[in-house]
Amino acid sequence: MNLKVGDKVKVIAGKDKGKEGTIIKTLRDANKVVIEDVNIGKKHLKAQGDNQGGIIEFPQAIDASNVMIIDPKTKKPTRIKHEIKDNKKIRVSASGNKLD
C-alpha cells in the first residue's frame, strides 16, 4: 500500500465518490484506509451507567484501491511511483512532484 496517515486523498469509487479527506488510519493487512468524514457509519448504543446512550457516527474503512492521493502542487488525484535518491526510497507523483 502506497498510502500513509495524513495523506490527502480523493474517493474514486463507491457511494462517497468525489469526496476528499485526510487518512486517519491505515489497515495494511486488509488493504483498507479510514478517511475523515467519508463512509460514515452509525452505531446504536444502549444506556449503561452514566452513559446516556443514543446513536453515534464514525468513519468506516474503505478499500485502498478506491482512493487516489492528491498531488499537493496540482491539487489533482494522481498515481504514486517510487524513486531512490541518496539511498532512500521516496514517493513521487506520476507527474514528478515529491509527495513526502
> Any idea which residue has 486488509 for its cell?
30
Task: Identify which has the larger pLDDT, 91 or 98.
Answer: 91
DSSP bridge pairs for 42 = 57
The pLDDT of residue 77 is 92
Tell me the one-letter amino acid at 29.
Answer: D
Q: Tell me the mean pLDDT in the region 27-50.
A: 94
- 3 state SS of 26: strand
Number of domains in the chain: 1
Range of the domain at 32: 8-72
- The pTM score is 0.83
Give me 3's grid cell: 498510502
pLDDT confidence of 72, banded at 50, 70, 90? Answer: confident
Structural domain includes residue 100: no
pLDDT confidence of 51, banded at 50, 70, 90? Answer: confident
Cα dihedral 7, 10, 14, 18, rounded to 10, equals: 150
CATH number at residue 43: 2.30.30.30
Give me 20's grid cell: 476528499
The pLDDT of residue 97 is 81
- 3 state SS of 54: strand
